[in-house]
Amino acid sequence: MAEQNRKRTKSPYTVDRDMPGAFEGETITRRRLMTGTAHGMGALAAGAFALPAIGFALGPVFERQKWQWQDLGPLADFSSDTYSPKTFEIVAGIGEAGYSTVYVRRYNEAIDGPKRDKYDDIVAVSTRCMHLGCAVRFVQAAERFVCPCHGGVYDFKGSVIGGPPVRPLDRFYTQQVDGRVQIGPRYSVNSEFTRFSPRDPGEPLDGIGQFMYPARFSTPKLSDPPTG
């Protein structure tokens, strides 16, 4: 049995393996050495081109977004009975495509309930439908937010009352500084208006939904207060 095992063991030397161009005492032929070297250099060259591109593509995924407060106008411009549309910049450096509209009003405890903190003084509602992301508009006569794409309907607070949206409209942090209203980062809410880190449309936040659809790494944590 031991003799059979020795016969099955392949010799490390090229001469014993009857390789063409083999020399006494070598364990690899020059052809294989050159081929392996060429393949290795090719892999290094490919990596030199590919790795920077991959890093450029994936870098933003692992980078926390930094927010700056933006001015929306004097507090006197806003009422607690209706919304005022305002435009602000959501992505810097890309021109008009980086701007969005937000509906803003003063907090109304009769409708909204007790305030939670200083960020509740002003309500800023996103215009992005929580079904597929279409733009909603506020219809003053009906006191409803309506999505023209698939019939989503939200009440005055932004809760879903009709159609396919899976959660209330997102909101933005706001604050008052010297009698002026400023807007900060966006956050999502569930049916009880509990704040969550921003989620994408179509991702419910009630029950198990908040665990099935975690926030993106790049979004700011709610534990990190917005900073100027």
| pLDDT for position 83 | 96
Average pLDDT, the chain: 81
Q: What is the helix (H) or strand (E) element at residue 89, kind and residue range? A: strand 84-89
| Residue carrying structure tokens 């992005």 | 128
Q: What is the pLDDT of residues 83-125, one digit of tens each?
A: 999 999 887 777 787 889 999 999 999 999 998 888 889 999 9
Among 29-33, 62-66, 205-209, which is the least confidently predicted range? 62-66
Q: Does residue 227 form part of some domain?
A: no
Residue numbers of the domain that contains 52: 1-63
Least confident range of 8-12, 82-86, 136-140, 195-199: 8-12
Instruction: Output the pLDDT for position 37.
Output: 79
Answer yes or no: do 59 and 77 share one domain: no
- Tokens standing for residue 139: 């219809």
pLDDT at 219: 60
Domain-located, residue 219 = no
CA distances from 26 to 18, 21, 32 (A): 12, 11, 12
Please report whether residue 121 resides in a domain.
yes
Question: Does residue 196 have a pLDDT over 80?
Answer: yes
Mean pLDDT value of segment 176-200: 92
Of residues 60 and 199, which shows the higher confidence score? 199
| Residue 152 and residue 89 in one domain | yes
Q: Residue 71: pLDDT above 80?
A: yes
The half-sphere exposure of 118 on its side-chain side, counting CA atoms within 13 A, is 9
Q: Please check whether residues 191 and 138 belong to one and the same domain.
A: yes
Residue 56, pLDDT above cutoff 60: no
The structure tokens 């070297």 sit at 37
At residue 3, does pLDDT exceed 70? no
Q: What whole-number percentage of the chain has pLDDT above 70?
A: 72
- Condensed to tens digits (0 to 9), the pLDDT of residues 135-180 reads 999 999 999 999 999 999 999 999 999 999 999 999 999 999 999 9
Integer Cα distance of 168 and 7 in angstroms: 75
100 and 196 inside one domain: yes
SS3 assignment, position 118: helix
CB 23 within 8 A of CB 14: yes
Burial class (CB in 10 A: 0-12, 13-18, 19+), 138: buried
Last residue of a domain, which of 41, 63, 85?
63
Give dist(CA 9, CA 14) in Å, integer. 14
Tokens matching residue 173: 């942090």
Kindly state the tokens that stand for 155: 């009440």
In the predicted model, what is the mean pLDDT of residues 23-52? 69
Q: Do residues 37 and 125 both lie within one domain?
A: no
Q: Which residue has the higher pLDDT, 29 or 196?
A: 196
Nearest-CA neighbor of 78 among 56, 105, 102? Answer: 105
What is the spatial distance between Cα 29 and Cα 80, in angstroms, rounded to a whole number? Answer: 84
Poorest-pLDDT segment among 29-38, 53-62, 149-158: 53-62
